[in-house]
Structure 1
């Protein structure tokens, strides 16, 4: 994996993207979205993840995040992806999934030739970390994240998308509490 997009400053603020292998639209079902939401909350409460923004799309997630405490950001990301990989596969097996065989075949094939993968690979390698070094660049990435569901035609206003922090920035309650970035 290229080190071009790795978090070099373990406590810096980063724009992160995690993508499902082959861009499979897995987050079209509520149960998979809830796995991600509860896992992010767990990382906030137990691992020191500071979440400034997020947007969960059908096949990827964007975050603006940093780490506080003794656990570094790359360790939080590693643990998050490992846990959610396992939880998504368990949900495919146990849930009411009409695409069960197809999804399991996709995820099994993605991990087949990787010795570090036991059975299934849900996430692409890496997490495309881009350090946010200026207020202008940070605002650009925040806007990019929140406009994702608008550009995709899912909602007409960013704050109406449930699985995004755009509502938090409009003084509405979202499913996850975030630390609001201040641009004043």
Structure 2
């Protein structure tokens, strides 16, 4: 884990996580690289007892809301596995420029690898209450709109927005259901369509 003022203090809470790529390279604009992340998100849900509430994969970073009893170790393994898988994928497919960029950006103190995909750290922010959870989910789903990639949140394939709207999605997530039990459905949907 990189040096950061952010820490996981209580694993009984979900955390908002941000992980960025070295030098901001747009590696995830390659659909094969984005698929590696989707596969890893599904794996941690199915095999590592992780609850994934929301996610978005942007061209050079990811945001997610996750909960796991061993979150620091989980994120370290997630980043290590996805980096190895993407380097292998790019090697097999002859993406020499991307490999060169990841090799050039590698922290010289890392002797265990030739390439570096992820920046150090993952900036966990503990989600303390329902209002913060809704704010972070909205932030995640609005990221592609704010960046100007799509006009509507549900148009970005690489996010959990479609899950929240009951549409066909790329991977499952655990829906945060604050308003579905105590509020009319239109209030719930409206809160995710800003």
- TM score, norm. by length of structure 2: 0.86
Q: Deviation per CA, 1:58-97, whole angstroms, max 9, x where unpaired?
A: 00000011015xxx11111111100001011111111253
> Distance in 2 between the 1:162 and 1:42 partners?
19
**Superposition map of 1:20-169 within 5 A:** 20-67=21-68, 72-95=70-93, 97=95, 100-101=96-97, 103-169=98-164
Name the Cα RMSD after superposition.
1.4
**Dislocated runs of 4+, deviation >3 Å:** none
Closer/same/farther in 2, CA of residues 112 and 65 from structure 1, 3 Å limit: closer
Closer/same/farther in 2, CA of residues 112 and 15 from structure 1, 3 Å limit: closer
Pair member with larger Rg: 2
> Distance in 2 between the 1:165 and 1:182 partners?
14
> Distance in 1 between the 2:107 and 2:51 partners?
34
> Distance in 2 between the 1:175 and 1:11 partners?
27
Structure 1, unaligned stretches of length 5 or more? none
Q: Deviation per CA, 1:108-164, whole angstroms, max 9, x where unpaired?
A: 122251235421110001111000101111111110000011111221110121100
- TM score, norm. by length of structure 1: 0.91
Closer/same/farther in 2, CA of residues 142 and 96 from structure 1, 3 Å limit: same
Aligned to 1:12: 13
How many residues end up aligned between the 2 structures? 178
